[in-house]
Amino acid sequence: MKDRNKHGWLPLSKINARTVVPFSGIPEDPGRHCPMHTALSLTRNMSGVSTLVIGSAECGYYSRYVMTEQRGRNGELHYVYELDAGEVVFGCRKGLLEALKEMDSEGAEIIMLILTCVPALIGEDMEAVIKELEGKISAKLFFVDGAHFKYNGYYPGFLDTYSGLGLLYKDTALKADEIKNSERNVNILGALMGKEGAALKNYLQEDGCNLLEVNLKTIVKAAEKICNGTLNVLLDANQSLLSEKLNKPEIPFCKSFGAKAVRADYQKLFKQLDMENTEQEFLYASYLELKEKEVQAKEILKGIPFIMTSQELLALPAAAYLSELGMELKLLSIENLYEKDIPWKEDILKHGKDPYLVTITENNNIGHWARDYELLSIGHCLHIPKARVLMNSAVHRIFSLTGYERSIMLLDQLMKLAENMEEVQVFEQPILEQLNTEQPAEQAVTEQPTEQPVILQLKGGDSHGSI
């Protein structure tokens, strides 16, 4: 495609929900984690969910880097169904049915089947297997398609696990006319972190709302309460498909960054819960503080080029917000562009910038390309000076906060990095002088050194472990 650059990257404007997001380069050995890995990593902390990995001996071997024990703390079973030579050709349906019956007899209450590459390639039908066992076993079943060749990386492992649980719960959910309108049961999908999160929790409880904070350890035991909730407040983007399957009114708090957008979320929440919104509006001072920060940011951050390599599910809304404040997005790393992400795509493009959209699998191409810009990076990135990088740990802390507090801290951190950029350039001058001997003078001053501190990244293979 003529729109690709020399590395094979595509600009955002040329990618839609049916386009495969290009890799940044040939994946480093052994590449990114697969959905099997993250599905197991998530389920390992869920009380009451057993797992069955279906695949080759290699998949079974690597699954043990995550699920190290066959039995969980609360009696969960974590087994592997390894296909033999005949099953690789003719399918494993018969043996799989027997394995699930055995897990049921051993007491498994909920079993998550994880399909890997080989059974997916031969067309093993998990839905048919689950349907055939309906009424024959007491365990509830759902499956996750973890075939790595279908995806750029590991995020479907998170999303599909929550989606599968949502489908299970949906069958037990009360119908809309059975839920008492007077009850205000709020599902908090994610953790209320930080001062603002704690304030919101207290504010809702004092007004008589029943809050259910959905976390990994209680998600199964709280299934009935989740289904009987009247409203979902989405704080964890990973749980978006769980919220979708529950089919209830939703307020996606985690997607809002701007002061007006966050305030609109709060107003929608209070209206949904029939709470009075007086002049003493909840956290109005924080709203004014964020508006003031945005005015400052438009001056300090305007025209600064940046890339995003962290927090893929929130990358687009965060990038759209920073683009609105005048920053120039050059590159964005996500695994997939979904249909519901299109509004964020359009928000970025309307500011006149058309960044590359890639899945980062290696750093060399990123490094060579980045030397043409004095970039600020949100997330780890080799070849960009550490003083101009908002490290992954900091990004994770910021994005775990709630509402105004999250955006205030994000802007504070970025403005601090921006103010230090001139000092970084002076510090690097001796290296840039060395580059002058190899490149034209008018280009050398914008070049950045290629040697940077090594940042550990998630990899597959022998580095499989806890995420």
* Domains of the chain as residue ranges with CATH: 10-26+287-463 (3.40.50), 35-150 (3.40.50.1980), 176-282 (3.40.50)
* Residue 171: per-residue pLDDT: 66
Residue 444 clears pLDDT 50, i.e. is over it: no
174-199 average pLDDT score: 77
* Residue 428: per-residue pLDDT: 39
Phi, psi angles (nearest 5°) of residue 127:
-65, -40
Pairing of strands 356-358, 10-11: antiparallel
Q: For residue 148, count other CB atoms closer than 10 A to its CB.
A: 22
- What is the SS3 assignment for 188? strand
Q: Tell me how far apart the alpha carbons of residues 325 and 171 are, in angstroms, rounded to a whole number.
A: 44
Query: Does the predicted model carry a pTM greater than 0.75?
Result: yes
> What is the share, in percent, of the chain residues with pLDDT greater than 90?
49
| Higher-confidence position of 445 and 250 | 250
> What is the share, in percent, of the chain residues with pLDDT greater than 70?
85
Edge-to-edge order in the sheet of strand 210-214: 210-214, 185-189, 231-234, 250-251
**CA-based Rg of the chain, rounded to a whole angstrom?**
24
pLDDT range class, residue 365, cuts 50, 70, 90? confident
Q: Tell me how far apart the alpha carbons of residues 152 and 415 are, in angstroms, rounded to a whole number.
A: 33
- 282-338 pLDDT, tens digit per residue, is 789 999 999 999 999 999 999 999 999 887 789 999 999 999 999 999 999 998 888
Q: At what angle do helices 403-419 and 312-324 cross, to 10 degrees?
A: 70
431-452 as b/e, with b when 16 or more CB fall inside 10 Å?
ebeebeeeeeeeeeeebbbeeb
- 271-297 pLDDT, tens digit per residue, is 898 887 654 577 899 999 999 999 999
* Residue 424: per-residue pLDDT: 46
9-28 average pLDDT score: 87
Q: For residue 176, count other CB atoms closer than 10 A to its CB.
A: 10
* Residue 3: per-residue pLDDT: 80
Query: What amino acid is encoded at 275 in this protein?
Result: M
Beta strands in 146-209 (DSSP E): 185-189
pLDDT range class, residue 128, cuts 50, 70, 90? very high
* Range from 160-174, 242-256, 373-387 that averages highest in pLDDT: 242-256
155-165 average pLDDT score: 89
pLDDT range class, residue 176, cuts 50, 70, 90? very low
Which residues, including other chains, have CB under 8 Å from residue 21's CB and lie 6 or more apart? 10, 15, 152, 334, 335, 336, 337, 357, 358, 359
Which residues, including other chains, have CB under 8 Å from residue 429's CB and lie 6 or more apart? none
* Residue 73: per-residue pLDDT: 84
